Amino acid sequence: MRTFSHKGFNYLVPVLALAIMAVPMLVQSQDVASGSAIATILPALTVTATAALDFGNVYQGVSKTIAPNNADAGIFTLGGSASAGVSVYMQLPDYLQDAVSNDRMVIAFSATDAVFDPSASADPTTPGLGHTDENPHAFSGALTLGAGGAATIFLGGKVDPSVNQTAGSYTGDIVLTVAYTGA
Q: What is the CATH number of the domain that holds 120?
A: 2.60.40
**What is the pLDDT, as a whole number, of residue 168?**
96
Asked whether residue 142 carries a pLDDT value surpassing 60, the answer given is yes
Asked whether residue 22 carries a pLDDT value surpassing 60, the answer given is no
In a domain, 22, yes or no: no
Interval 48-101: pLDDT, tens = 999 999 999 999 999 999 999 999 999 999 999 999 999 999 999 999 999 999
In a domain, 146, yes or no: yes
User: Which residues span the domain enclosing 143?
Assistant: 46-180
In a domain, 35, yes or no: no
Counted residue by residue, the chain has a size of: 183
In a domain, 87, yes or no: yes
Q: Where does the pLDDT of residue 130 fall: very low under 50, low under 70, confident under 90, or very high at 90 and above? A: confident
Give the pLDDT mean for 121-134: 90
**What is the pLDDT, as a whole number, of residue 129?**
85
Which neighbouring-strand residues pair with 154? 75, 115
How many domains are there within the chain? 1
In a domain, 30, yes or no: no
In a domain, 72, yes or no: yes
In terms of DSSP H, where are the helices of the chain? 12-26
In a domain, 5, yes or no: no
What pTM was computed for the model? 0.79
Interval 170-181: pLDDT, tens = 999 999 999 999
In a domain, 29, yes or no: no
Give the pLDDT mean for 101-107: 96
Cα Rg, the chain, nearest whole Å: 36
Q: Where does the pLDDT of residue 111 fall: very low under 50, low under 70, confident under 90, or very high at 90 and above? A: very high
Contact 78, 145 (CB under 8 A): yes
d(CA 110, CA 156): 9
**What is the pLDDT, as a whole number, of residue 141?**
86
Angle subtended at Cα 119 by Cα 115 and Cα 124, rounded to the nearest 5 degrees: 45
Contact 76, 152 (CB under 8 A): yes
